[in-house]
């Protein structure tokens, strides 16, 4: 994983960072939409993201397509946007997952079929890190586990006060919100669009969750 980052020169700069730059960079899809939205904020946070954290929120740095090691030999978790945010005099490591109509990928049951020892160890690690009892329900999406874990791992690495996992959705009908809500139910939290909810982690930090509704104007760019 590279640790030297350079500033972007606009939304187009994000394309080369994608796992599949040709396939994923399409108008109306999450990668391109998210890039245009965040670049339009001109050094700050998109307003719907800032609103989750409060009026005094400040973006310290944002890194597109940020890879986070899950501390094993498997694939890194590639976060659409990783941000360090300051709010109410606290720093927060934020992992942002952009969505339009794309799903959250395989469920735990699908991902865990004939699970290798590495997968067993990874799932155990993720559950312990974010404070979920094992085994988790099979119908919850695996991506939400490693995206939340990414926020926690980077909170530890950057020594921030809190961590947060935010879904930045540009879907007109909040598609896949039910999958997000099912994941939050594992923490005994109730999901609500535009509202931050929180859970204390085993390491003492607070992990925040939010569903932000993005401006649809960016879908056509």
> What radius of gyration, in Å, describes the C-alpha atoms of the chain?
16
- pLDDT above 90 for 188: yes
The span from the CA of 135 to the CA of 9, in Å, is: 44
Mean pLDDT of the region 113-117: 91
User: Model pTM?
Assistant: 0.96
- pLDDT above 80 for 5: yes
**Which pLDDT belongs to residue 22?**
94
**Which pLDDT belongs to residue 202?**
86
3, with CB counted inside 10 A (0-12, 13-18, 19+), is exposed
**Which pLDDT belongs to residue 54?**
92
**Which pLDDT belongs to residue 55?**
86
User: In whole angstroms, what separates CA 205 from the centre of its chain?
Assistant: 17
Mean pLDDT of the region 61-87: 94
pLDDT in tens, 127-179: 999 999 999 999 999 999 999 999 999 999 999 999 999 999 999 999 999 99
Cβ-contact 97, 177 below 8 angstroms? no
Mean pLDDT, the chain, rounded, equals 96
DSSP result, 176-198: THHHHHHHHHTTT----TT--EE
Mean pLDDT of the region 101-116: 95
Domain ranges of the chain: 11-220
- pLDDT above 80 for 2: no
Other CB atoms closer than 10 Å to residue 150's CB: what's the count? 27
**Which pLDDT belongs to residue 205?**
94
**Which pLDDT belongs to residue 193?**
97
- pLDDT above 80 for 74: yes
- pLDDT above 80 for 1: no
For 3-12, 154-163, 170-179, 207-216, which range has the lowest pLDDT when averaged over its residues? 3-12
Q: Between 114 and 210, where is the model more confident?
A: 210
pLDDT in tens, 116-129: 999 999 999 999 99
The span from the CA of 114 to the CA of 137, in Å, is: 16
């Amino acid at each position: 994983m590279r640790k030297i980052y350079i500033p972007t020169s606009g939304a187009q700069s994000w394309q080369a960072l994608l796992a599949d730059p040709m396939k994923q960079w399409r108008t109306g899809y999450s990668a391109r939409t998210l890039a245009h939205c965040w670049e339009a904020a001109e050094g700050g946070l998109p307003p719907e993201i800032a609103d989750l954290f409060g009026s005094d929120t400040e973006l310290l740095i944002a890194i597109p397509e940020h890879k986070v090691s899950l501390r094993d030999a498997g694939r890194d978790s590639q976060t659409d946007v990783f941000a360090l945010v300051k709010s109410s005099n606290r720093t927060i490591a934020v992992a942002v997952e952009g969505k339009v109509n794309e799903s959250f990928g395989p469920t735990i049951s699908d991902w865990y079929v004939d699970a290798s020892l590495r997968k067993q160890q990874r799932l155990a690690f993720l559950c312990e890190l974010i404070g979920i009892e094992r085994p988790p329900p099979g119908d919850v999406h695996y991506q939400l586990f490693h995206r939340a874990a990414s926020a926690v791992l980077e909170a530890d690495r950057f020594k921030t006060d809190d961590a947060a996992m935010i879904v930045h959705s540009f879907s007109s009908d909040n598609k896949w919100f039910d999958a997000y809500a099912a994941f939050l139910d594992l923490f005994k939290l109730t999901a609500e669009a535009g509202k931050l909810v929180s859970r204390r982690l085993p390491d003492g930090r607070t992990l925040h969750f939010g569903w932000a509704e993005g401006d649809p104007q960016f879908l056509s760019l």
